[in-house]
Structure 1
């Protein structure tokens, strides 16, 4: 819990595949609590889909769960993901 993806290139590849597949099928993300790591993945996915990185956490909190992306380092990861440095 409360962690970040350890293999960032693999994480990015999974997100790109999920975004591609979501056009024609259901795609799900899940973690133990369904808030922190799931929210982080959803926020990064939102960035890939065009949501500005600085707005992605608020976007996921509004549409998924108000506590999504639980930790400061998860929020920083999303911002850096949007800048291409995650």
Structure 2
């Protein structure tokens, strides 16, 4: 079993179930310490290869995933892996797309859709989820 994230590490979100997921911006250097065992990258183009298991969701900046069914499947995989792995969710800046994905993980974890954005803004970043359509995506996520 993998050692989980340290919950005091910047960017680590604790979901109500206790699952820990790290959000981050890929334009920033990789933080010191443990690396992810699984990462979900939310970018408009395929990311550079990494030495850990990862999935890419085509998700242009400020928009929504290009393939919503694939995004839902990848988010569910990240949520399912989080209890026993160091899961990271990342986009360019670590706010809009990452915050939206983290809010969707919160929904999977039992947070009501209508409260998920607020939860992520309180526990991850006050700047999470940047656009009205990202908020609407979370509201309708299942």
State the TM-score, normalized to the length of structure 1.
0.92
| Structure 2 unmatched ranges of 5 or more | 1-60
Taking the TM superposition and a 5 Å limit, the aligned residue runs for 1:57-72 are: 57-72=117-132
SS at match of 1:70: coil
Correspondence 1:43 to 2:118: no
Taking the TM superposition and a 5 Å limit, the aligned residue runs for 1:19-38 are: 19-38=79-98
What is aligned with 1:17? 77
State the TM-score, normalized to the length of structure 2.
0.57
More helix by percentage: 1
Find the aligned partners of 2:93 and 2:76 in 1 and give their Cα distance. Answer: 23
| Structure 1 unmatched ranges of 5 or more | none
CA deviation string 1:21-75 (max 9, x = no partner)? 1010110000011100000000011001100000000000001000100000100
Higher Rg of the two aligned structures: 2
Please tell me the root mean square deviation across aligned C-alpha atoms, in Å.
Answer: 0.7
